[in-house]
Copies of this chain bind each other. A is one copy, B any other.
Amino acid sequence: MIQDHEFISFKEVPGPTKEEIRCLLLCKSEVSNEDIVVDIGCGTGGITTDFAKVAKKVISIDKNPNAIELTSKNIKKHGVFENVDLIENDAISALKSIENFDIVIIGGSGGDLDEILELVFSKLNKNGRIIVTGILIETKYVAIKKLKSLGLEPKVVEVTISRGNSIGLGTMMLAENPIAIISSKIK
């Protein structure tokens, strides 16, 4: 895995999604080289970069132009720009312009999660996978409720990571903020 510090970052753009979470997203999504992946709220581009190494194509969306610029820098830095499309737009508008896809990772929804999930559900290919990452209690609630109302059975894991920091006297554990991964597969 690319380590967190190997991504270029801007102060005003969130991310990158921590190494361990990116790793779990790769596993949970079961991404293969036949998959078209949509990354909603690509931020620093950590998820885009990792998925672009495996997937057929990644379409990355962010309404923040700084995020798009940063993702562009990071995919170039890590040599995976050829199969990435960047769209600077809000998620709803951007999704309307996309035909269909196999996997969607929703990291940022700007309050439109309900509508995004409906739209995503209508455009996913057979065996499509929807993954929502949530750091807000409200995101977890809305994602679970909406996915259930779409007839899916969301699987929820909450992940808390602490990292050892070697200080003079020993190894101090420093906590990362907890993050939920909510995943569904369309049958």
What is the interface of chain A, defined by CB distance below 8 A to chain B? 1, 19-20, 23-24, 26-28, 30, 110-111, 135-141, 144, 153-164, 166-167, 169-178, 182
Can you tell how many copies of this chain the complex includes?
4
5 residue pairs bridging A and B, Cβ less than 8 Å apart:
A1-B30, A23-B23, A111-B169, A140-B141, A174-B177
Which residues from B are CB-within-8-Å of A111?
Answer: 169
Interface contact A162-B171, CB-CB below 8 Å: no
Nearest CB of chain B from residue A50's CB, rounded to whole Å: 10
Do B175 and A177 touch (CB < 8 A)?
A: yes
For the A-B complex with A138-B141, A158-B162 known, give 14 more contacts whose Cβ atoms are closer than 8 Å: A23-B28, A136-B169, A136-B171, A137-B144, A140-B141, A153-B166, A154-B164, A156-B171, A157-B162, A157-B163, A160-B161, A160-B162, A172-B177, A175-B175
